[in-house]
Amino acid sequence: MTHTNHRQGSRESLRDDWVILSLPYRGPPHVMEKVERFKEICARHGAVNADRPKAWHIFVFDRRENMEAALKELTDAGLGHSVVVAGLFDEVADCCRRAGTKAHTVNHSLGFWGKREKLPRPQVLEITTMCGHALVAPALVTRLAEKVRDGDTSLEEACQEMRRMCLCDIFNHVRAQRLMAGLVESMGAPAEESGG
Amino acid sequence: MIIREELCTGCLDCLPYCPMSAIVHDEATGLAKIVEDECVECGVCYRARVCATDAVFPQPLEWPRTLRMEFSDPSSPYLSPVFEHRTIARFQRDLRGMDRRRLLDREGEELTISGRGTIEMKMNDVMGRYKRGQAGVAAEIGRPGVGARFRDVEKVARALTTAGVKFEPDNPLTDLMTDVRTGALLPEILNEKVLSCIIEFTVPLASLPRVLSALRDVSSQIDTVFAVDLISVVEEDGSVPTVPVVEAMGLTPSIAGKTNVGLGRPLAPLD
């Protein structure tokens, strides 16, 4: 499973996109006690997806400070479970140092190879790749952007609708609002208003 | 997945939800229709509950079409007989016995996302699966969001064997091979289409250029895309030994990705 590994965007764009996940997610009571502690720590430090039950123990943050605070408390708690943080490598390494741990193993993306002309345009790809399983359809992103542009739905509602498709709830709906606003802006006015 | 013609009102609200754009407007009937050969059985259109008349319907699947759901719906258990040995946990057996409609209805804590690769580096601190001097590589065929036929997966697998790759035995794709030495897949599955399929393996760092060159060569011979992952243990000084190797090939590692932050205990030996 590498579904947090190909989130797209510039350094600036990725500064509001951090994920903490932990394994195991099933086990005997003494293991699950630690899992519950992990979940409590992540939720308390402002994970933006802490409002829904989860099949996986995945927490999404829109502020590095919150992710770092959670990482520091997880380090101090000494739960002994493996923890993975997805985000900008150099900033995660800095967070690790300040939290009292260090990067152990990394997984880089080397990008998308092959018939790249089949990919949606970059602005859409930045949104769809936040569901690594690709359950958020490019056509849905475009359709919702049109609805936002036309005043038929709000940015927040549109991004919650995309989030609903993502089974792991790893889709960063807060970052998506910013990306979606840019997409809507790039679309220009509705056809009837622009005379077309 | 099918759309029951007698229930469809032709509102077409379901069309944009399909990751494969396999739901189309049937001009002859004015209704929505799923192009069966393009549908990867991911279940998004069904779970979206966007159809007011409940016309979107999960039909029973038979081998080898079952592979579409297994590789495209992250909540699906392994259903195909070829994965019989993977049904090891009680919850997997329970899921296997569940009819597809109930399976797709599961939500929240009842959902089990089992993935279609391995846990790769997520527990490397305690498992030591990737050692110093090695690189973990994955080619995620069809990702992101383009989809792939197994015939293209086979092309990539065959190309990798020429570079000396040995496939990860715990990856379900290996179960679909008739010969792991050549990367040949079961002939009856080659036209099946999935959202993505992961080829995983570990190679000595010295072999990485040859393997990535093979991937680069085959990338022009397939009708889809693939995402490439590169796993490495971080050195004591914080450097990542795979980075200079791929940069020398003109490749640019991503600025963001996954970091195992070393909190697992006890730590596994890496040498």
- Which pLDDT belongs to residue B255? 97
Residue B179 has pLDDT above 90, yes or no: yes
Which sign, positive or negative, has the C-alpha torsion B255, B116, B228, A139?
Answer: negative
Measured between CA atoms, the residue of chain B closest to residue A130 is: B144
Q: Which of B263, B265, B267 best tests the A interface by mutation, with the highest count of A CBs <10 A? A: B263
Q: Cβ B265–A165 below 8 Å, yes or no?
A: no
* pLDDT (mean) for B189-205: 97
Chain B, residues 172-191, CB within 8 A of chain A, namely: none
Q: Does B112 touch chain A (CB under 8 A)?
A: yes
Hey, what are A138's tokens?
Answer: 């490019």
Is B235 or B79 the better-scoring residue by pLDDT?
B235
Give A194's pLDDT tier (boundaries 50, 70, 90): very low
- Which pLDDT belongs to residue B90? 61
Q: Rounded CA gap, A125 and B227, in Å?
A: 13
Q: Does B14 touch chain A (CB under 8 A)?
A: no
- Alpha-carbon distances, residue B40 vs A129, B20, B81, B196, B250 (angstroms): 18, 8, 19, 10, 35
* pLDDT (mean) for A177-189: 95
Span of A19-23, A59-63, B251-255 with lowest mean pLDDT: A19-23
CA distance B9 to chain A (A): 20
Among A188-192, B169-173, B206-210, top mean pLDDT goes to B206-210
Q: Cβ A89–B259 below 8 Å, yes or no?
A: yes
Q: Rounded CA gap, B87 and B75, in Å?
A: 14
Span of A183-192, B23-32, B90-99, B140-149 with lowest mean pLDDT: B90-99
Percent of chain A predicted with pLDDT > 90: 82
Which sign, positive or negative, has the C-alpha torsion B173, B176, B181, B187?
Answer: negative
Q: Contact B158/B183 with Cβ under 8 angstroms?
A: yes
Give A25's pLDDT tier (boundaries 50, 70, 90): low
Q: How many residues does chain A have?
A: 196
Q: Tell me the residue ranges of DSSP E strands in chain A.
A: 18-23, 58-61, 82-88, 105-114
CA distance B214 to chain A (A): 12
> What phi and psi, each to the nearest 5 degrees, are found at residue B226?
-145, 145
- For the entire predicted model, the pTM comes to 0.94
- Which pLDDT belongs to residue B105? 80
Residue A195 has pLDDT above 60, yes or no: no
- Which pLDDT belongs to residue B87? 60
Q: Contact A61/B249 with Cβ under 8 angstroms?
A: no
Q: Cβ A109–B252 below 8 Å, yes or no?
A: no
Residue A126 has pLDDT above 80, yes or no: yes
B240-260 in b/e form (b: 16+ CB < 10 A) is bbbbebbeeeebebbbbbbbb
Q: Contact A182/A141 with Cβ under 8 angstroms?
A: no
Residue B238 has pLDDT above 50, yes or no: yes
Instruction: Kindly report the three-state secondary structure assignment for every residue of A98-125.
Output: HHCCCCCEEEEEEEEEECHHHCCCHHHH
Q: Cβ A106–B259 below 8 Å, yes or no?
A: yes
Q: Rounded CA gap, A153 and A144, in Å?
A: 8
Q: Rounded CA gap, B253 and B258, in Å?
A: 12
Tally of helices (H runs) and strands (E runs) in chain B: 9, 12
Percent of chain B predicted with pLDDT > 90: 81
Adjacent-strand bridge partners of B56? B3
**Residue from the list B136, B145, B258 with its beta carbon closest to the beta carbon of A86:** B258
Q: Cβ A110–B42 below 8 Å, yes or no?
A: no
Measured between CA atoms, the residue of chain A closest to residue B200 is: A1
User: Which residues of B fall within a CB distance of 8 Å from A87?
Assistant: 256, 259
Q: Which residues contact B257 (CB under 8 A, 6 or more apart)?
A: A4, A5, A86, A89, A106, A107, A108, A109
User: Which residues of A fall within a CB distance of 8 Å from B261?
Assistant: 71, 75, 83-85, 92, 96, 99, 101-104
Hey, what are B118's tokens?
Answer: 């391995």
- Average per-residue pLDDT for chain A: 92
Instruction: Give me the residue label for tokens 């069309």.
Output: B15
Residue A196 has pLDDT above 70, yes or no: no
Q: Cβ B264–A71 below 8 Å, yes or no?
A: no
Residue A23 has pLDDT above 80, yes or no: no
- Which pLDDT belongs to residue A1? 42
**Residue from the list A105, A140, A143 with its beta carbon closest to the beta carbon of B130:** A105
User: Which residues of B fall within a CB distance of 8 Å from A108?
Assistant: 229-232, 240, 242-243, 253-254, 257
Instruction: Give me the residue label for tokens 């080829």.
Output: B199
- At B164, the amino acid letter reads G
Would strands A105-114 and B225-233 be described as parallel, antiparallel, or unpaired? antiparallel
DSSP string across B67-122: HHHHHH-TTPPP-SGGGGGG--SHHHHHHHTS-HHHHHH--GGG-----SS--TTT
Q: Does B156 touch chain A (CB under 8 A)?
A: no
Which sign, positive or negative, has the C-alpha torsion B69, B73, B78, B82?
Answer: positive
Q: Cβ A134–B19 below 8 Å, yes or no?
A: yes
Residue B270 has pLDDT above 70, yes or no: yes
Tens-digit pLDDT profile for residues B49-78: 999 999 999 999 999 999 999 999 988 888
- Which pLDDT belongs to residue B196? 96
Q: Rounded CA gap, A15 and A169, in Å?
A: 19
CA distance A139 to chain B (A): 5
Span of A24-33, B107-116, B192-201, B216-225 with lowest mean pLDDT: B107-116
Residue A59's CB is within 10 A of a number of other CB atoms, namely 27
